[in-house]
Amino acid sequence: MTAVQERLRDECRRLLESKEVDVILGYQRGTLPLRSAPLFARRPEDVERMIWDETCENTVSVYIPRLRGSRVGIVAKGCDGRWVVEYITENQVSRSALKVIGVPCDGVLSRRALEKVAGLRTIYEGHLEDGHVVIQGRGWKERVPIQEVLEPSCKTCVQKSSPIIDVDLGRVESPNPKGDFGDVAAVEAQEVDDRWDLFAQEASKCIRCYACRQACPGCYCKVCFVDRSKPTWVGGTDDLTDAMVFHIMRAMHLAGRCVDCGACEKACPAGVNLRLLNRKLEKDARELYGHVAGLRVDDKPMLSTFRPNDPGDFIM
């Protein structure tokens, strides 16, 4: 067990024994190699299952709105901590109802990247070893540096440590807090027809399963616009037009709120490049409004504030 994981268990046990929290959101080993699963630790003995390492890829902050009325502890990497801040600024949770246990995060493993290394071979076992991931199956074994198989969102992460921390188990500085939007800029440079074709190509893969919505901490509306029938905002089919409207409306709902945790893209079974669209809006929020989501609890939600010098070119 690593020193951080040991301290994590000690601190979580203390919080539960002293009844400072009712539940702690964290991670436990999953049933597949190199996969973890969310852990809802409610009793001190639950903490014995808690882990912290590069397999902890779930965005567990998504459960916070569902735990209203409880005092919640959360094992927070940077992206989860940013959602904690968003929830506070969006009045979804009170700061006093939370204990944020900040863990050092230098990226989490990408299931898809590991599957790419394995190719057509099945991964039966896997473990972490000296900055590498070792995966193996029947008659084969591969050892790859962890940095080569991280989630894409971790490679452009601007905030690797939670912006607010009550229990500090270590921090990692982001090498590029201003972000890297080279992929978005490359699309912006294309002709409008080419951009439309790219969007249509991505939307055409969508099977409207809504796994992206379920995984996203920002999609906490009691009734989502896609499920409303009076009026019907968008058809429920996988027809291309319906899919495009769904993605445009969802992206707009996340404008100035998305923290690029990558949970939506990880959850998508169809391989839709969801981050590209969301990051376009993230880039616009930065460049047009100087807004970066989930960094300061005293920030107001971007779309509910107005400054006289806000760009208004779109107003006729």
Residue where the block lists tokens 């699963």: 37
> What six digits make up the tokens of 107?
């990226």
Query: Nearer to ligand SF4 by C-beta: 16 or 76?
Result: 76
Q: How far is the CB of 279 from ligand SF4 (least distance, A)?
A: 8
Query: Nearer to ligand SF4 by C-beta: 33 or 217?
Result: 217
Query: Nearer to ligand SF4 by C-beta: 16 or 34?
Result: 34
Q: How far is the CB of 138 from ligand SF4 (least distance, A)?
A: 31
Q: Which amino acid is at 117?
A: V
Please compute, for residue 275, the number of CA atoms within 13 A of its CA located in the half-sphere on the CB side: 20
Cα(83)–Cα(16) distance, rounded to whole angstroms?
A: 23
CA 37 to chain centre: 14
Q: How far is the CB of 30 from ligand SF4 (least distance, A)?
A: 16
Q: How far is the CB of 82 from ligand SF4 (least distance, A)?
A: 8
Give contact residues for ligand SF4 (rule: CB under 6 A): 77-79, 105, 107-108, 151, 153-154, 157, 160, 206-212, 215-218, 254, 258-264, 267-268, 270, 272, 274-275, 278
In our burial notation (b when 16+ CB lie closer than 10 A, e otherwise), range 22-46 reads ebbbbbbbbeebbbbbbbebeeeeb
Q: How far is the CB of 25 from ligand SF4 (least distance, A)?
A: 15
Cα(221)–Cα(208) distance, rounded to whole angstroms?
A: 18
Q: How far is the CB of 258 from ligand SF4 (least distance, A)?
A: 3
* 249 within 8 A of 243, measured Cβ to Cβ: no
Query: Nearer to ligand SF4 by C-beta: 98 or 277?
Result: 277
Cα(114)–Cα(96) distance, rounded to whole angstroms?
A: 40
Query: Nearer to ligand SF4 by C-beta: 71 or 208?
Result: 208
Q: How far is the CB of 134 from ligand SF4 (least distance, A)?
A: 21
Query: Nearer to ligand SF4 by C-beta: 55 or 153?
Result: 153
Q: How far is the CB of 136 from ligand SF4 (least distance, A)?
A: 25
